[in-house]
Amino acid sequence: MIRVVHYLNQFFAQIGAEEKGDVAPSVKAGPVGPGRALQQALGDNGEVVATIFCGDNFFAERQDQAIDELIRHLGEYQPDLLIAGPAFESGRYGVACGAICQAALQRLGIPAVAGMDEDNVGAGLNRKNIYIVNSGATIARMVPALQRMAALGVKLARREAIGKPMDEGYLPRGVKRNEFAAKPPAERAVDMLLAKLRGEEFHSEIAPPKFAGGKPAAPLRDLKSALIALVTDGGLVIEGNPDKIEPGRPTRFTTIPISGVNSLDADKFDAVHSGYDTAFANQDPNRLVPLDTMRELAREGVIGKLHEFVHSTGGAHAAVENAVQIGRQIAGRLKAAGVTGVILTST
Amino acid sequence: MIPVAKELGSLRAIASGGITSPTGNPELSPEKEKQFRRELVLRALQTLQQEV
């Protein structure tokens, strides 16, 4: 019987939602929440002996400490396998799942499988080092995702040979293995082209990189003549959210005029965001966008000027295409206004 | 979240006050919190001046 430990965040461990995001790492015996579906998927092959969990914010803010404590709990149960998630499209949870799997493998030599959406930032960070099953973006695929994770995990724990990503359901790790092909590359390429022209399905043999990245701007030479703009993905809005930006899955941003505003008052501005607890930002929105400080620095001549508009979007669960679009539009406006530097505060 | 920012190509990234209050710290007194914010923003401005 394979001994399995399951990692969950505070939400799936049934501790609480965003308001419990700073819950410290801990452990419970046996399966919790989705762990029951994991146990079913394992059947007689394995037993979920414990569930380790941690708040997403705790993990993001104190990653080293979180990993140390979780690894200690993990070691106490002497498992043969760690299963983490699935985290779907939740970024902080996905990063945590990836990091704990990597630590289990490196420090304890325990094979591990994480589950998350292929666009989760945790997948980009860890897919080369660990096995990540593509869970899709939404919780609707919890059970099939856990079934694939369990099947792959059992193979890993038994040190069986692992097949190709497409066959086993994990994200490509960039590992190349030699194999014999029936046709030479030129013929395969022409076959692919013909399939494409006929509108048929075909699979590229090389995965293109998803994040092209941009060239970083040249350093700012002189702060005293700089025009600095403030941008946030933390969902700052004018009270009442007149542009109706979405609290998550953003498709647009809001432009907030700040001419004559010296500090962001709690009764005139709000934070609208489904990915973090907005209580602190709502108490004092300067905690989200540092307008009061920037005004001070402009008055003192530390910077040249502050741009008179703040651009804001709610960055939770952003689809990459939409995020790129929003970023391009904001950058276009800032360039047109002659802005030379941007401070973007992120939650 | 710094590795996340860098993974996505945001090379000028510094650690903030936390997920729920990037440019603040609710545990500090109002004066100390303003000082914290000022130091953080000054560090951000320095970072804008760095080669990456």
The interface predicted TM-score of the complex, written ipTM, equals 0.97
pLDDT the model gives residue A236: 98
pLDDT the model gives residue A208: 58
Q: Which of residues 252-291 of A touch B (CB under 8 A)?
A: 276-281, 283-284, 286-290
State the 10-residue block means of pLDDT for chain B, 52 residues long: 84 94 96 97 97 90
Q: Are A236 and A266 in contact (CB under 8 A)?
A: no
Looking at beta carbons, which residues of chain B come within 8 Å of A288? 21-24
B18 touches chain A (CB under 8 A): yes
Looking at beta carbons, which residues of chain B come within 8 Å of A214? 9
Is pTM beyond 0.80? Reply is no
Structural domain span for residue B23: 2-48
Q: Which residues of chain A have pLDDT under 70?
A: 207-213
pLDDT the model gives residue B49: 96
> Min CA distance, B18 vs chain A (Å)?
6
> What tens digit of pLDDT does each residue of B24-34 get?
999 999 999 99
Domains assigned to chain A: 2-168 (3.40.50.2300), 223-345 (no CATH)
Q: Which of residues 71-130 of A touch B (CB under 8 A)?
A: 91-92, 95, 121, 124-125
Looking at beta carbons, which residues of chain A come within 8 Å of B16? 345-346
Please state the domain count of chain B.
1
pLDDT the model gives residue A210: 62
pLDDT the model gives residue A215: 83
B31 touches chain A (CB under 8 A): no
A21 touches chain B (CB under 8 A): yes
